[in-house]
């Protein structure tokens, strides 16, 4: 099946949603404590943007924090909900289906955060600005934002064939999921565009296949800090992805921006 989802937030459906947790089962992002510490130092309820299947949201709820989630994909949100309900101490997360670029939840939050560079799925600086304006309008006075971003790639990304990006073998169900990525020419200058193909394989045969386009926009840390400041956030800190030390321009490939709504 070729589902040419190009609009933002329309990609995490079908095999990708179904296989998401299995793909990441052996990856340690080591980022839960980053957001937990930020939430702990603030007041009120937190909101996780692009919360997906709840990789961070559910452990935060289990630890007793008040956190809600927002994501554009109802399939990812449904998985988050069912995983929460299956936990030994059942959790029923408050979830909102909405796009980060433009949302209105009718509530204010003490902390709003976005992990694993999901914010780079917003494909232009203008759309990021729009999203930051929405974020600010949902943030309590003196509330905190924490946004994890990937640095722009140092090399010009060139179209270079399909590469296996992830594989998950579920032996008990005799299922394998494979995720292939292929860099293609971008439509928007300054972005990276990839075709992602997810396959469901049973008894060695591909029984289903979904294809989507993903566009990543990775502003430089300086450019992103400038944008955050333009929107009106203050006390802006540019940190390493663990939020522990200042960002190192020579070494770090990811950054975390933490800032306040004055």
Ligand X SMILES: C[S@@+](CC[C@H](N)C(=O)[O-])C[C@H]1O[C@@H](n2cnc3c(N)ncnc32)[C@H](O)[C@@H]1O
In the complex, the residues that contact ligand X under the rule CB under 6 A are: 8-9, 12, 50-52, 55-56, 71-73, 76, 99-101, 115-116, 118, 121-122
Q: In terms of CB distance, is 35 or 233 closer to ligand X? A: 35
3-state class (DSSP) for residue 58: helix
**Least distance from ligand X to the Cβ atom of residue 38, Å:** 15
Cα four-point dihedral sign 8, 53, 157, 2: negative
Cα 62 from chain centroid (whole Å): 20
Q: Please, are residues 254 and 224 in contact by the beta-carbon 8 Å criterion?
A: no
Measured from each CB, the residue nearest to ligand X is 52
The angle formed by the CA atoms of residues 57, 62 and 63, to the nearest 5 degrees, is 100
Residue 249, number of CB atoms within 10 A of its CB: 12
Q: Which is nearer to ligand X, 212 or 225 (CB)?
A: 212
Of the two residues 76 and 147, which places its CB atom closer to ligand X in the complex?
76
Q: Residue 179 or 228: which CB sits closer to ligand X?
A: 179
Minimum separation from the CB atom of position 20 to ligand X (A) = 7
Instruction: Give the residue carrying structure tokens 């070729």.
Output: 2
Q: How far is the CB of 249 from ligand X (least distance, A)?
A: 25
CB of 144 to ligand X, least distance (A): 18
């Amino acid at each position: 099946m070729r589902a040419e989802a190009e609009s933002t937030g329309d990609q995490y459906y079908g095999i990708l949603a179904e296989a998401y947790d299995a793909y990441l089962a052996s990856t340690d992002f080591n980022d839960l404590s980053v957001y937990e510490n930020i939430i702990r130092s603030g007041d009120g309820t937190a909101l996780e943007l692009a919360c997906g299947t709840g990789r961070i949201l559910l452990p935060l709820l289990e630890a007793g924090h008040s956190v809600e989630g927002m994501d554009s994909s109802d399939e990812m949100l449904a998985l988050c909900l069912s995983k929460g309900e299956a936990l030994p101490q059942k959790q029923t997360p408050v979830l909102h289906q909405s796009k980060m670029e433009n949302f209105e939840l009718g509530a204010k939050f003490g902390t709003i955060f976005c992990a694993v560079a999901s914010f780079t799925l917003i494909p232009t600086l203008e759309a990021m600005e729009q999203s930051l304006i929405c974020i600010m309008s949902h943030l309590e006075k003196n509330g905190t934002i924490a946004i994890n971003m990937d640095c722009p790639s140092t090399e010009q990304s060139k179209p270079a064939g399909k590469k296996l990006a992830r594989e998950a073998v579920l032996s008990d169900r005799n299922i394998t999921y494979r995720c292939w990525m292929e860099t293609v020419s971008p439509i928007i200058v300054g972005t990276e565009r990839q075709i992602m193909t997810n396959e469901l394989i049973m008894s060695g045969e591909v029984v289903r296949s979904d294809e989507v386009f993903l566009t990543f926009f990775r502003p430089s840390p300086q450019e992103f800090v400038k944008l955050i400041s333009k929107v009106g956030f203050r006390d802006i800190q540019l940190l390493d992805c663990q939020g522990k030390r200042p960002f190192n321009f020579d070494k770090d490939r990811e950054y975390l921006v933490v800032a306040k709504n004055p």
